[in-house]
């Protein structure tokens, strides 16, 4: 086994030093054929001792799962790759159950949104229709933007656009849209990851019409505030051409786009999450062989899908870490940095952030702090990386070029709610499924929207949650009650900090200390200072309301609650009239 590892390592070193042209991938695959090699694509357990051993071959492989604790990775391979890995001394076992998934030949569950009607969905659920209908229904809150074409549109195929839906109150009273803190949510860069557009669509609904009894503009005060004072950009499908293939046949497991110029086999295409220009192909985290699932393309940012994204996002979120080219790491972004970014993938139940370059990101501490906070909301593991080398990824480009915190969620893992094609019921926790991807990730989406104004600062403070006004949809002058919870939300094991105070703002954000104070403090409890004020026992200790304000509510106010660290553990604002 040691002999074989040295052979593999030598191949990788030669490729890195001499360039891919020095050792063509076809030459790197000239192994002796093992006795029981599969004749069709298969899913195998690739046994490895550690990450270093997996990284020697990960650049060329379609890795589904990584289990270092069990000593193997789950990998989809073609017969040539199986032979190659065997010749290098790796132990392989075919996973019969997962291999069977490659031959299902069944359409995607019709309850999922299909991209367009190229492949008919009998329930009439199409992403493009949904976006256009939402654009028509909320003309003052949303704008649908065509940021560019997918590959087939300019190569004789079916024309598909990449659509971004912008969500914000466009009335001038709420400020210039360009000045609002922005959260950019992207899904479906890998075509087979079908759960991710569903989550993006549900967040659009949460901020507009509401979804499953939660959210809704002018219904939910939290959602209303976010729409009035923030701007959210949602790219529901970054790889629409490839997605359609999986709608017709989930057994296709198509990951890449539909560029068929360079590979003559069914494995053609470019992995768009290896195609971004920032340190493209730098570090052994992608393949130069056109038929590999991790093929990075002929050049940095070569694909129209990548080019459209890289041109659009700087137009709405400014560069904040200074000018730098694609092979230069900029200094740390300042604390005044504004904007957040999230790309959705599946599957591993992990939170990732930049990057796998030899030099750590300059804002490493802040990225980790935010990433761990996100994991405290969705319950995923804040691993930072996927467990093997990757270069040319979206979040690396966004952070590297713009300086804003950028993250990846790997959604789903295990059982019916694992795989790239989970049961539809896993999206919302219906049909007896044990999980709800939406319930898990909604709080994290909201959090990334809320902290977008100053993410590198706000992530270290306490969090305002469960901001409610009852009753919803109140008439002018009708008494309403505002409640909210302020907590120091941390990932399991991370140290908590006490909270000293909180204040709330109605219909407009303000500076610290300018809001209406509304929290309970032990100071003055049981004394004359508490006379006539509301009291309660929190964690076995008496507290008194510091201040009670009465105002007249207009319809449903948009409410923000700001808090700071200190000693007070809870906020429950009093009655608003």
DSSP helix/strand/coil, 112: coil
DSSP helix/strand/coil, 230: coil
Q: Which residues contact 550 (CB under 8 A, 6 or more apart)?
A: 575, 576, 577
- Model pLDDT, residue 533: 75
Model confidence at 39: pLDDT above 90 = yes
Compute the distance between CA of residue 443 and CA of residue 465 in angstroms, rounded to an integer.
9
Compute the distance between CA of residue 113 and CA of residue 125 in angstroms, rounded to an integer.
5
User: How many percent of the chain have pLDDT more than 70?
Assistant: 85
Q: 415: pLDDT confidence band, cut at 50, 70 and 90?
A: confident
Q: 204: pLDDT confidence band, cut at 50, 70 and 90?
A: very high
Residue 10 token pair? 């030598």
- pLDDT tens for 455-511 read 999 988 787 777 777 776 677 778 878 777 888 777 767 787 777 777 777 767 777
Give the residue among 308, 307, 313, 280 at the shortest CA–CA distance from 295. Answer: 280
- Model pLDDT, residue 6: 27
What sign results for the dihedral spanned by CA atoms 32, 36, 42, 47?
Answer: negative
- pLDDT tens for 453-467 read 999 999 887 877 777
Q: Which residues contact 44 (CB under 8 A, 6 or more apart)?
A: 74, 75, 76, 77, 82, 92, 93, 94, 95
- Model pLDDT, residue 42: 97
- Model pLDDT, residue 570: 30
- Model pLDDT, residue 577: 26
- Model pLDDT, residue 504: 77
The correct answer on CATH 3.40.50 for the domain covering 2-101 is: no
- Model pLDDT, residue 531: 78
Residue 119 token pair? 């492949």
Q: 172: pLDDT confidence band, cut at 50, 70 and 90?
A: very high
- Model pLDDT, residue 491: 74
- Model pLDDT, residue 539: 67
> Is the Cβ–Cβ distance between 274 and 395 less than 8 Å?
no
Residue 237 token pair? 């499908």
Mean pLDDT calculated for residue range 280-289: 97
Strands (E), 283-431: 340-345, 350-352, 381-384, 406-410
Enter the DSSP assignment of 144: E
Give, in degrees to the nearest 5, the angle at Cα 307 between 306 and 309: 65
- Break the chain into its structural domains and give their ranges: 2-101, 127-457, 462-576
Q: 447: pLDDT confidence band, cut at 50, 70 and 90?
A: very high
Instruction: Looking at 19-50, list the stretches that DSSP marks H as alpha helix, in order from N- to C-terminal side.
Output: 25-28
- pLDDT tens for 70-104 read 999 999 999 999 999 999 999 999 999 999 999 99
Model confidence at 436: pLDDT above 60 = yes
DSSP helix/strand/coil, 221: helix
* H or E element that contains 233: strand 231-235
What fold is seen in the domain 127-457? Aminopeptidase (3.40.630)
- pLDDT tens for 314-368 read 999 999 998 899 999 999 999 999 999 999 999 999 999 999 999 999 999 999 9
Give the residue among 470, 478, 564 at the shortest CA–CA distance from 519. Answer: 564
- Model pLDDT, residue 528: 75
DSSP helix/strand/coil, 376: helix
Select the more confidently predicted residue: 536 or 111.
111
Instruction: Judge residue 432's burial from the number of C-beta atoms within 10 Å of its C-beta, 0-12 exposed, 13-18 middle, 19 or more buried.
Output: exposed
Compute the distance between CA of residue 387 and CA of residue 75 in angstroms, rounded to an integer.
13
> Is the Cβ–Cβ distance between 217 and 227 less than 8 Å?
yes
Please, what is the average pLDDT of the chain?
A: 86
> Is the Cβ–Cβ distance between 309 and 161 less than 8 Å?
no
- Model pLDDT, residue 10: 30
Phi-psi region of 199 (alpha: psi -120 to 50; beta: other; left: phi over 0): alpha
DSSP helix/strand/coil, 7: helix
Mean pLDDT calculated for residue range 294-307: 98
Q: 563: pLDDT confidence band, cut at 50, 70 and 90?
A: low
> Is the Cβ–Cβ distance between 546 and 574 less than 8 Å?
no
- pLDDT tens for 113-156 read 999 999 999 999 999 999 999 999 999 999 999 999 999 999 99
């Amino acid at each position: 086994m040691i002999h074989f590892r040295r052979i593999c390592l030598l191949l990788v070193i030669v490729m890195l030093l001499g360039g891919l042209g020095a050792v063509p991938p076809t030459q790197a695959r000239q192994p002796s054929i093992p006795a029981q090699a599969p004749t069709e694509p298969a899913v195998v357990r690739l046994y490895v001792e550690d990450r270093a051993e997996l990284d020697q071959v990960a650049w060329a492989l379609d890795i589904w799962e990584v289990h270092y604790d069990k000593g193997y990775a789950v990998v989809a391979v073609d017969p040539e790759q199986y032979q190659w890995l065997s010749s290098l001394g790796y132990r392989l076992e075919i996973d019969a159950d997962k291999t069977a998934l490659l031959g299902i030949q069944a359409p995607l569950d019709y309850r999922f949104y299909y991209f367009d009607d190229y492949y008919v969905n009998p329930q009439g659920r199409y992403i493009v229709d949904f976006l256009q209908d939402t654009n028509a229904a909320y003309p003052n809150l949303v704008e649908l933007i065509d940021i560019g074409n997918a590959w087939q549109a300019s190569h004789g195929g079916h024309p598909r656009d990449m659509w971004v839906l912008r969500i914000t109150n466009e009335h001038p009273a709420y400020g210039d849209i360009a000045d609002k803190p922005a959260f950019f949510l992207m899904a479906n860069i890998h075509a087979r990851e079908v759960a991710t557009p569903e989550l993006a669509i549900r967040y659009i609904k949460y901020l507009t019409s509401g979804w499953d009894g939660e959210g809704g503009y002018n219904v939910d005060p939290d959602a209303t505030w976010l729409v009035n004072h923030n701007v959210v950009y949602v790219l529901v499908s970054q790889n629409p051409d490839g997605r359609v293939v999986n709608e017709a046949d989930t057994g296709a497991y198509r990951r890449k786009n539909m560029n068929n110029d360079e590979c003559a086999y069914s494995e053609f295409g470019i992995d768009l999450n290896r195609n971004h220009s920032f340190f493209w192909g730098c570090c052994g985290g992608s393949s130069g062989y056109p038929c590999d699932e991790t093929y990075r393309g002929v050049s940095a940012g070569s694909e129209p899908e990548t080019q459209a994204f890289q041109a659009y996002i700087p137009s709405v979120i400014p560069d904040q870490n200074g000018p730098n080219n694609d092979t230069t790491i900029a200094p740390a972004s300042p604390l005044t940095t504004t904007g957040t970014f999230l790309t959705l993938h599946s599957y591993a139940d992990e939170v990732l952030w930049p990057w796998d370059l030899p030099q750590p990101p300059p804002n490493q501490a802040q990225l980790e702090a935010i990433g761990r906070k996100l994991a405290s909301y969705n319950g995923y593991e804040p691993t930072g990386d996927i467990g093997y080398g990757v270069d040319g990824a979206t979040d690396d480009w966004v952070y590297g070029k713009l300086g804003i915190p950028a993250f990846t969620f790997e959604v789903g893992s295990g059982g019916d709610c694992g795989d790239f094609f989970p049961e539809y019921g896993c999206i919302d926790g219906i049909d007896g499924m044990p999980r709800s991807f939406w319930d898990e990730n909604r709080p994290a989406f909201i959090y990334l929207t809320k902290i977008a104004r100053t993410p590198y600062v706000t992530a270290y403070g306490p969090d305002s949650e469960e901001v409610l006004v009852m009753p919803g949809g109140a008439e002018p002058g009708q008494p309403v009650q505002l409640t909210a919870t302020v907590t120091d939300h941390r990932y399991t094991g991370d140290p908590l900090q006490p909270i000293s105070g909180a204040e709330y703002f109605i219909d407009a954000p303000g500076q610290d200390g300018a809001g209406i104070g509304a929290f309970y403090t032990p100071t003055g409890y049981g004394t004359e200072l508490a006379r006539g004020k509301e009291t309660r026992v929190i964690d076995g200790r008496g507290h008194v309301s510091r201040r009670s304000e009465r105002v007249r509510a207009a319809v449903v106010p948009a409410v923000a609650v700001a808090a700071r660290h200190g000693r007070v553990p809870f906020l429950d604002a009093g009655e608003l009239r």
